[in-house]
């Protein structure tokens, strides 16, 4: 049988069938196939949980950070990978003002963080900001903000008119908001005028705000993001988890460049994490190899508890030694030889001496 070797790990035997050769290759690539299967299972699991594709988004700006110099786990920072979970509508979203009453928090602040397309336009870059307030347009020409009736009166004010939560059409200010305790100014007059200028009927929706945008809501002319309240159908999902730092690789390799400075500790922890991902499996593999050479099975106890069969090398003993079965056979042969020799020597001792006769000379 002729063997054709294409590299140090895989060879083809000319006399083998195609199916047998494929099986041989698969056995050689077992480790790679297992790793690929694990990655695929993780991706499919994320997709099943998320309900949308892709299930992860890379944070490109610092608008949600709680510090300009340091990143934090549990806060959305530049370069984080954030898991997005699909929602059926804005009704499932809890706003910052609603969270003040219920205590619901995500990513270090009250309320949910949503991802949406400005004006529902598919070509626009998705925005991931916190839902701040829910506004309902009424036929009287103003907005109702029902959450205002459930939060302290001292935490908000109106620029003119009666201080009520309904039929508002002036500026509403909110005090001591977020990690940096800023004042958020929501100018309803400007929003209503924008609808009139665009010849559109006003609609209900959510006001959104970046945690690190100094109290400037997305609907403010200063933000230049989306002047209209976010409609339910514009919302793609809610942020529900993060993989910190690893999105920086995507931003550095394929772009776009991060919008703003990347916290230095994000870079440091990313490089440390990559180093550990490479070093830990390598150290385990080397340790297992060294111990196996000494006849110590690093994972033998684990396999035994899991009911798995021992590896072939475990049955044969440490590398370089003879198989245990062969040793036993050699021992039996040696013992048999000794018995035969012992038996032969015993017979020689018990035999009567040979009589020697001298030949008489004539």
Q: Say how far residue 1 (Cα) sits from the centre of its chain.
A: 48
Rounded Cα–Cα distance for residues 262 and 102 (Å): 33
CB atoms within 10 A of CB 76: 28
Q: Is residue 270 part of a domain?
A: no
The pTM assigned to this predicted structure is 0.73
Same domain for 75 and 21 = no
pLDDT confidence band for 193 (50 / 70 / 90): very high
Same domain for 237 and 155 = yes
Q: Is residue 190 part of a domain?
A: yes
Q: What digits encode the pLDDT tens for the residues 273-325?
A: 999 989 988 888 888 888 888 878 766 766 676 666 666 555 454 444 445 55
* Residue among 83, 89, 130, 86 at smallest CA distance from 111: 130
Q: What is the mean pLDDT of residues 241-266?
A: 87
The 3-state secondary structure of 110-140 reads ECCEEEECHHHCCCCCCEEEEEEEEEEECCC
Q: Which of 33, 50, 67 is the last residue of a domain?
A: 50
Angle at alpha carbon of residue 258, lines to 253 and 261, rounded to 5°: 125
**pLDDT for the residue numbered 327:** 54
Q: Is residue 149 scored above 90 in pLDDT?
A: yes
Boundaries of domain holding 219: 52-245
**pLDDT for the residue numbered 319:** 45
**pLDDT for the residue numbered 17:** 72
- CB-CB contact of 164 with 99 (8 Å): no
Same domain for 33 and 77 = no
Backbone angles phi, psi at 246, to 5 degrees: -70, -20
Same domain for 76 and 9 = no
Same domain for 95 and 67 = yes
Q: Is residue 345 part of a domain?
A: no
Q: Is residue 162 part of a domain?
A: yes
* Residue among 132, 117, 202 at smallest CA distance from 172: 132
Cα torsion at 6, 12, 18, 24 (round to 10°)?
-100
Q: Is residue 267 part of a domain?
A: no
Q: Is residue 221 scored above 60 in pLDDT?
A: yes
Q: Is residue 180 part of a domain?
A: yes
Same domain for 307 and 158 = no
- Straight-line distance from the first to the last Cα atom of the chain, in angstroms, rounded to the nearest whole number: 79
Q: Is residue 326 scored above 90 in pLDDT?
A: no
Same domain for 70 and 154 = yes
Number of structural domains in the chain:
3
Six token digits for residue 186 = 């929501």
Q: Is residue 148 part of a domain?
A: yes
Name 170's Cβ contacts closer than 8 Å, sequence gap at least 6.
158, 159, 160, 161, 188, 189
Q: Is residue 267 scored above 80 in pLDDT?
A: yes
Q: Is residue 330 part of a domain?
A: yes
Q: What digits encode the pLDDT tens for the residues 95-126?
A: 999 999 999 999 999 999 999 999 999 999 99
Q: Which residue has the higher pLDDT, 333 or 96?
A: 96
The share of the chain scoring above pLDDT 70, in percent, equals 77
pLDDT confidence band for 81 (50 / 70 / 90): very high
Name 21's Cβ contacts closer than 8 Å, sequence gap at least 6.
12, 13
Same domain for 322 and 201 = no
- Report the range of poorest mean pLDDT among 20-24, 96-100, 154-158, 342-346: 342-346
Name 221's Cβ contacts closer than 8 Å, sequence gap at least 6.
190, 227
| CA dihedral sign, ordered 341, 347, 350, 355 | negative
Name 173's Cβ contacts closer than 8 Å, sequence gap at least 6.
156, 157, 158, 159, 183, 184, 185, 186
CB atoms within 10 A of CB 184: 23
Count CA atoms within 13 Å of residue 351 on its CB side: 9
Same domain for 116 and 44 = no
Q: What is the mean pLDDT of residues 16-45?
A: 77
Q: How far is CA 136 from CA 146, 169, 188, 249, in A?
A: 8, 12, 12, 41
Same domain for 129 and 235 = yes
Same domain for 126 and 37 = no
Same domain for 139 and 13 = no
């Amino acid at each position: 049988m002729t063997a054709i070797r294409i590299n140090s790990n895989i060879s083809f035997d000319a006399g083998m069938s195609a199916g047998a050769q494929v099986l041989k290759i698969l056995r050689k690539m077992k480790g790679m196939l297992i790793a690929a299967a694990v990655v695929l299972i993780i991706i499919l699991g994320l997709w099943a949980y998320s309900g949308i594709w892709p299930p992860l988004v890379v944070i490109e700006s610092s608008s949600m950070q709680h510090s300009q110099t340091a990143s934090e786990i549990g806060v959305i920072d530049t370069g984080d990978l954030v898991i997005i979970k699909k929602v059926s509508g804005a009704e499932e979203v809890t706003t910052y003002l609603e969270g003040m009453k219920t205590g619901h928090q995500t990513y270090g602040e009250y309320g949910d963080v949503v991802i949406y397309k400005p004006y529902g336009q598919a070509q626009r870059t998705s925005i991931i900001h916190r839902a701040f307030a829910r506004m309902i347009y009424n036929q009287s020409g103003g907005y109702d903000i029902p959450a205002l009736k459930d939060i302290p009166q001292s935490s908000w004010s109106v620029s003119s008119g009666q201080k009520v939560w309904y039929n508002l059409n002036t500026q509403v200010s909110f005090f001591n908001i977020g990690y940096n305790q800023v004042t958020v100014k929501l100018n309803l007059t400007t929003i209503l005028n924008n609808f009139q200028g665009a010849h559109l009927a006003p609609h209900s929706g959510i006001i959104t705000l970046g945690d690190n945008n100094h109290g400037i809501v997305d609907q403010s002319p200063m933000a230049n993001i989306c002047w209209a309240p976010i409609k339910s159908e514009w919302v793609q999902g809610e942020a529900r988890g993060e993989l910190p730092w690893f999105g920086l690789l995507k931003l550095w390799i394929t772009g776009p460049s991060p919008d703003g400075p990347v916290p230095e500790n994000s870079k440091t922890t990313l490089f440390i994490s990559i180093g550990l991902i490479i070093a830990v499996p390598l150290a385990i593999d080397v340790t297992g190899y060294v111990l196996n050479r000494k006849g110590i099975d690093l994972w033998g106890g684990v396999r035994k508890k899991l009911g798995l069969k021992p590896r072939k090398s475990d049955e044969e003993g440490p590398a370089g030694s003879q198989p245990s079965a062969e040793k036993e056979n050699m021992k039996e042969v040696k013992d048999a030889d000794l018995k035969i020799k012992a038996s032969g020597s015993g017979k020689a001792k018990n035999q009567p001496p040979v009589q020697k006769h001298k030949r008489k000379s004539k």
